[in-house]
Structure 1
Amino acid sequence: MRLIGIIGSIVSLIWVIQSCSNQGVQGSNFSQVYGKKNVTITPDYLVYHHARDKSTLHFQFNSTQVLYARKDKSQPYQSKVKIHYEAYAVDNKKELVDSSSLMIYDTVEKKVTKLINGKIDLSLELGKKYYLRVFATDLNRNNTFEKLLMVDKVNESSAQFYLIRNKQDSAIFYNNYTIDRTPVIVQSEVNKGKKIFAYQYFRSFPIAAPPFAHPNHNSFNYQPDEKHEVAINEAGKFEYLLLDTGFVHFVIDTTQRKGLTVFGFENNYPKIKNVFGMVPPLRFISSNSEFDELNNSENTKKSVDLFWLSKAGDEDRGREVIKRYYNRVQDANDNFTSYVEGWKTDRGMVSIVYGTPKSVRVQRDEEIWYYGEETNSFSLQFTFVKVDNPFTQNDYKLIRATSYKSSWYRAVDIWRSGRAYWAQY
């Protein structure tokens, strides 16, 4: 079972107050969120509204991501991590509405691999949406990773009014997907005593089309394939068995579509650990005949090896380009998972083929990616608009244009020549 467990202990938690830069969301470059260059610590985060006026930011990171140091051999090892957040109203990205910091010290006699967990209380009003900038700093390395979270506290129907835990070990379910049949406990204190409906969908979705193409999208049929009714007890909890295929959408009010959704993806997700997971992402850089041959091959491993060897020319070069390509696929899964696997999305497609943008600007309901200097008219620019999707807050569609055709084919040709493409202007 691949669910995140709560392991290890935090030796001491110390609240500290830090002055805020107050530069807001509007002028910040968030490319590091997707690129993770020179970053070692990358925590998982989860926002949970456990009351109308109370919210919590849960986080966890692996001890292998931080540096444990000691003054001399007679002293124990200690890691020092600071989690700092800044909350901004969506309708005013420069208005700082809340901020705080948490220091985490973990002291050990011997270095061990474990997950370190913690939480910070948030002061956010009901009825609003917020941007949450979260900074995780390994103070022993002076290394910081920034993450931008969307906080939806408009009403009690939103997904962040629910918290999922593994029934077996009470581990918090940080991701909105599972890869096996998993019994869970779902918490929703604000909805205690109510009935909740579980709509199950077993649908397939296409991968993103090239940025210059304008595919026809059929309207989604919201009629569920299966429907179950569950009671939330007076403690604000209910049990459910999550499936490893399709997705389940929990709603309180059947006249609305907003609720909690959990998706079932293939084994090992978001990692690419077997040859069968290597084939589908090749659709972006393979011809129709090549892709058909890969899918219909009796020996998939051999066919994938031959595909990359035919492009790279030799095994060493082939191994290098394979590593770079599938690292991007996994990064896309980590960053862009929505109602489909991250690599299938518009942002996933662009990040895989073109690489990490030099800068990312967040506007209201859109992201603008720049490859090259923002002020350079020759730089490549992609604009992704947020989709009002009841199943996910992470669905963004690319504004497509025929002008992308030349850059797309240039990028694909370089991949097909056995080299990783980086769109730098």
Structure 2
Amino acid sequence: MNRSKLLLFVLLFIFFGFQPNAFAQRSLESLDQSLRYSRYARVGLKIIPIQTDDSKFTLHMQIEKIEENPSLTTFNMSYAILDSYTENIPEDRIVILGANDLNMDTERHWVFQKEVEIDPTKETQIALLSVLDTRQGDEYFYHIDLKSSYVYEHAKVGAFYANGVAFDQNYINQGQSLIFDSFDGPGIHAFYYPLKFPVPYPPMETRPANVPKELEVIDKGDFLENVPKSLDDLGYYFFQTDTSDLGGLMIKTTHDAFPKVKDWDEMVDIVTYISTRREHEELLQAEDKKKALDEYWIGMTRNPDTAKEVIREYFRQIEFANLLFTDFKEGWKTDKGMVYIVMGPPNEVNFSQDREVWTYGGMGESSKIKFTFARIKNVLTPHYYTLNRSRAYQPVWFKSISQWRSGRMAF
């Protein structure tokens, strides 16, 4: 390397945190994205794409500040538009994000906004956001298909908080308001779905899940953009600028305590994952749910102190599952949420275009347990996955439940 190239490399590293080989010989499929689901993550990443033309998008790339008073200089940030999950990430596709690129720096978010144009000749186009914590070397990733066989169309409408930051949660509490904006005109159409979903079957249950025969939908009509819109009904909403489009924006509405548990009745529903069938039936039939739950926890753990610890950890897992996995279902009712609650955060997470794989266990391949979530094309969300169930999961599943019931879980 000659002196001029060496000097350029040093300057890039010092001023931009640039690492030219950060993705060398790495594909999106090979990246471990387990920090996306960690209970100890320092930042949370999200890309909110708004389609502005057939091949043009506005990408709202938002980094949530989870740790207290973080410094932008602590992190190296970049994004790229990729053609594949399997090909090595080209260095010339990586765009460094620095302080000069910030659109907004709020109490909760760093916000970058970029206009991108995808290649119309490619079958797949993926936006990838990367954040490196330079203190520990932790790598955070978030990706979303802008175009693929699993995406109908992206929304041409966006939802925003009052401060102008794009709405980046998986849910909104009932009665709260958002501001909607679109590129198709002043009118936005809303549909409301009041459907409630059952608890998923456990991983070793291979019979088909119950599917509602009819889906109730209520047409809420048009409303104007850039005016606060209150979402008042529990369920989920679907927003479109053109009702003939195949895509739109789905937002789940929840009770006011969500992602935490609201009442004793909900708590009875939620403990089903670590209960026997008889225990759960008795809880459902109990007139005094609080008293029945107190007796349930003490009877299960045989120790009041252990019971308190199990309650604290179990409902912390519920809260994380709701934060991470809520879509049109509450997070704890999704397949991912169920596995996360019982098994804990996965040690490794890898994405392919058609699946997401969670790995638990030791160093050797023979001691690892893998849960594979198959990607399903869904008009409501490009991130819909269902667990590939197998009776082979039964031993590890029952072992994890036993650890919960004895207070020996450790995440």
Confirm or deny: 8 A CA contact 2:195 2:215 kept in the other structure. no
Confirm or deny: 8 A CA contact 2:43 2:67 kept in the other structure. no
Once the two structures are superposed, residues 369-388 of structure 1 have per-residue CA deviations (whole angstroms, 9 ceiling, x without a partner) of: 22225862343222110111
Identify the residue that residue 35 of structure 1 maps to in structure 2. Answer: 38
Identify the residue that residue 346 of structure 1 maps to in structure 2. Answer: 335
Change (3 A) 1:64 1:211: closer
Confirm or deny: 8 A CA contact 2:322 2:331 kept in the other structure. yes
Aligned pairs (5 A) from 1:131-280 = 131-139=126-134, 141-142=135-136, 144-153=138-147, 158-166=153-161, 169-189=163-183, 191-192=184-185, 196-219=188-211, 224-230=216-222, 237=226, 240-272=229-261, 275-280=264-269
Question: What's the TM-score once normalised by structure 2's chain length?
Answer: 0.80
User: One-letter code of the match for 1:351?
Assistant: Y
Offset at 1:120?
Answer: 3.9
356, 370, 384: which one aligns with 1:381:
370
User: One-letter code of the match for 1:148?
Assistant: Y
Change (3 A) 1:248 1:405: same
Change (3 A) 1:154 1:383: closer
User: One-letter code of the match for 2:231?
Assistant: L
User: One-letter code of the match for 1:187?
Assistant: D
- Distance in 2 (CA, whole Å) between partners of 1:385 and 1:27 is 17
Question: What's the TM-score once normalised by structure 1's chain length?
Answer: 0.77
Confirm or deny: 8 A CA contact 2:188 2:223 kept in the other structure. yes
1:309 aligned to 2:303? no
Confirm or deny: 8 A CA contact 1:285 1:416 kept in the other structure. yes
343, 361, 370: which one aligns with 2:350:
361
User: One-letter code of the match for 2:175?
Assistant: R
Once the two structures are superposed, residues 66-106 of structure 1 have per-residue CA deviations (whole angstroms, 9 ceiling, x without a partner) of: 456xxxxxxxxx9744433344224654244732233359x
Change (3 A) 1:419 1:273: farther
Confirm or deny: 8 A CA contact 2:28 2:86 kept in the other structure. no
- Distance in 2 (CA, whole Å) between partners of 1:375 and 1:298 is 49
> Which stretch shows the higher mean deviation, 247-256 or 384-393?
247-256
Once the two structures are superposed, residues 245-269 of structure 1 have per-residue CA deviations (whole angstroms, 9 ceiling, x without a partner) of: 0111123454554211111122222
Change (3 A) 1:295 1:98: farther
- Distance in 2 (CA, whole Å) between partners of 1:256 and 1:21 is 36
95, 103, 124: which one aligns with 2:98:
103
Offset at 1:283?
Answer: 0.5
Identify the residue that residue 5 of structure 2 maps to in structure 1. Answer: none
Number of aligned residue pairs: 384
Change (3 A) 1:326 1:219: closer
**Which structure 1 segments of 5+ residues have no match?**
1-13, 69-77, 106-112
- Distance in 2 (CA, whole Å) between partners of 1:131 and 1:229 is 33
Q: Is the partner of 1:334 in helix, strand or coil?
A: helix
**Which structure 2 segments of 5+ residues have no match?**
1-14, 101-105
Coordinate RMSD, CA, aligned: 3.4
Offset at 1:18?
Answer: 4.7
Confirm or deny: 8 A CA contact 1:368 1:381 kept in the other structure. yes
User: One-letter code of the match for 1:393?
Assistant: P
Confirm or deny: 8 A CA contact 1:157 1:252 kept in the other structure. no
1:24 aligned to 2:17? no
Change (3 A) 1:378 1:87: same
Q: Is the partner of 2:59 in helix, strand or coil?
A: strand
Offset at 1:330?
Answer: 2.0
- Distance in 2 (CA, whole Å) between partners of 1:43 and 1:383 is 23
Aligned pairs (5 A) from 1:265-344 = 265-272=254-261, 275-344=264-333
Identify the residue that residue 59 of structure 1 maps to in structure 2. Answer: 62
User: One-letter code of the match for 1:311?
Assistant: M
User: One-letter code of the match for 1:211?
Assistant: P
Confirm or deny: 8 A CA contact 1:230 1:238 kept in the other structure. no
> Which stretch shows the higher mean deviation, 361-370 or 152-161?
152-161
Aligned pairs (5 A) from 1:4-23 = 18-19=19-20, 20-22=22-24, 23=26
Once the two structures are superposed, residues 213-253 of structure 1 have per-residue CA deviations (whole angstroms, 9 ceiling, x without a partner) of: 124345556755311332666xxx56643234011112345
Change (3 A) 1:223 1:82: same
